[in-house]
Homo-oligomer: A and B are copies of this chain.
Amino acid sequence: MTNAEDLKESYQATTFKLAGSGARNVGVLKEALQNVDAELASDMYGSGEVIEKFERKMARMLGKEAAVFFPSGTMAQQIALRIWSDQRDNLPAAYHPLAHLEIHEQDGLKKIHRMEPVLLGGADRLMRFSDVEKLGDSVSSILIELPQRELGGELPDFAELEAISDYAKQNGIFLHLDGARLFEVLPYYGKTADQVCALFDSVYVSFYKGIGGVAGAILAGKTPFVAEAKIWKRRYGGDLISLYPYILAADYYLEKRLPKMAEYFEASKALAKSFNALQDVKTRPEVPVSNMFHVHVSRETEEMQAIFTAVQGKTDVGIVANLRDGISAGSCQFELSLGDSIQDVSREKLEEVFQELAQALRK
């Protein structure tokens, strides 16, 4: 076995995990369906109480007129940017070079909508107001991801967001929120979801990141925008006869985990502090602003695979399943997004983990 395989196997063998809210298995769906009446009627191609009720609930929570449930955020966001582009003479969208659309969607936006986005910000930093204020009327929309996942979950200050929102409004640019992890940043901002969303014309949120559902997304905005999004959802083949498996799980886990976001945030700050106390280790952000952060280690990937494998085997705590090479040579990194699982790791266990790591890294 390679070091990478050893690491993954040792992770899977652990009883406790730092990240997540438990295994992604069929039990997740079974739990969500447990108390649902078997007689509850399926949604039918976007209609029916089970989907419409949840859409109304999410529209209310996000402070928007309307919302539509999508099988995926990939589909929802491309469609949002296309609708805004259609309203501005086919002007392109602007977003960060590490946006999901740019790096994880096989160029869907470009291939499906022939849209070449304007990239704002850099691979090592967030988009700033100073990037945006040069745009004038050259773009139809700006997509902002809160938090920026590929940058460890960094966030702009709320005041900077407000400035960007004002500028967009004044220049006829639609502002779209990639809120895949929106709920996860509310404790840091000290805002409700609708207060954050008020800065945006359209909003996407996901139900399988911090919420821990099965799949699915909501796209919200004004009523005509959502009506148009439903037409595109049909075009994409996203208007499934039945989306209820995702909707019921989304609703169940939203109720279960939304109240816990502040706990996840606190646990994330404490855990990052422990990592930052280790030699050759630092987290990004140094002080997390959500339940997530990246861990950067200025050691070779192979060396760290061996160290983490040993510590996982000794402590029975899963730290990392897959290490990526870092950007600078001789470094490596991984992501941690906290959920329910961290609550099962006792303080003593955590101390043991970091003592073992500290000792291994001192060598």
Contacts and interface: CB of A to CB of B under 8 A. Distances in A.
A216 to B, nearest CB: 8
A71 interface: yes
Nearest to A110: B235
Interface string A19-42: 000011111111001001111111
Given A108-B234, A236-B236, A24 B38 contact: no
Interface in A236-278: 236-246, 248
A78 interface: yes
A13 interface: no
A166 interface: no
A208 B242 contact: yes
Contacts of A39: 23, 25-27
A85 B130 CA distance: 44
A90 to B, nearest CB: 14
Contacts of A236: 74-75, 108, 112, 236-238
Interface string A218-237: 00000000000001101111
Given A26-B248, A71-B71, A72-B240, A105 B235 contact: yes
A163 interface: no
A62 interface: no
A235 B71 contact: no
A178 to B, nearest CB: 13
Interface of A: 23-30, 33, 36-42, 44, 70-76, 78, 105-108, 111-112, 208, 214-215, 231-232, 234-246, 248
Q: Closest 7 CB pairs between A and B?
A: A75-B237, A74-B237, A27-B38, A108-B235, A245-B245, A72-B237, A24-B42
